[in-house]
Amino acid sequence: MATLQAARAKVLGLPLGSAKSWGLNRAIWYAAAKRRLTSAPAAAKPEKPGKPRVAATEFWLGSDKAYRVAGRGNPQFTIGGKVQTPADFERQIVRRFAGTFRQAWGDASKIVTAYPKEVLESQTAFYDLVYRPRRDKLAKQWNDRAAARSG
């Protein structure tokens, strides 16, 4: 999810660092949404005293909304009070590809550029037409490629 979302954001005009932040943010958001749909509601955790909240404003990428960290030149996005940085994307996403991320980025970029802007700008259309039909095949392809590189 993070890689396709980052490629989507890049194609829609975000700078690469911002696109990586967006991709990781959306992957976290969808994972949380999936957990909420498939498990019993968790008890609300009290907020830790003294932990500052990140000041953020709404940011729309087409019909998809996230929260942008205020005061940064290139947008970075936040969820749950934590900013998703390009360095976080490198650590949490790129590292999983075991040196094959450049190929995966090329795959993702090729996929998203094949769709009209209207599909990429629609949260629902992107999920239904771009991501969902490919997620299992891409995960297998990218995992196999990384395993071959590591093994």
Does some domain include residue 43?
no
Helix (H, G, I), strand (E, B) or coil at 105: helix
As a whole number of angstroms, the distance between CA 68 and CA 53 comes to: 13
81, amino acid identity: G
Given a cut of 70, the residues of the chain with pLDDT beneath it are 37-53, 71-72
Q: Would residue 49 count as lying in a domain? A: no
Three-state secondary structure call for residue 59:
strand
pLDDT of res. 33: 85
Widest distance between CA atoms in the chain? 48
**Is there a domain that residue 77 lies in?**
yes
Q: Would residue 115 count as lying in a domain?
A: yes
Residue 125 lies in a domain: yes
CA distance 23 to 35: 18
What residue spans of the chain are helical by DSSP H? Answer: 2-11, 16-38, 86-92, 101-113, 117-121, 123-125, 135-150
Range of 85's domain? 2-38+54-150
Q: What global pTM score does this model have? A: 0.85
If one counts the domains in the chain, the total is 1
pLDDT at residue 97 in the model: 94
DSSP code at position 143 = H
Question: Does residue 121 sit within a domain?
Answer: yes
Domain membership of residue 46 (yes or no) is no
Assess if residue 93 is contained within a domain.
yes
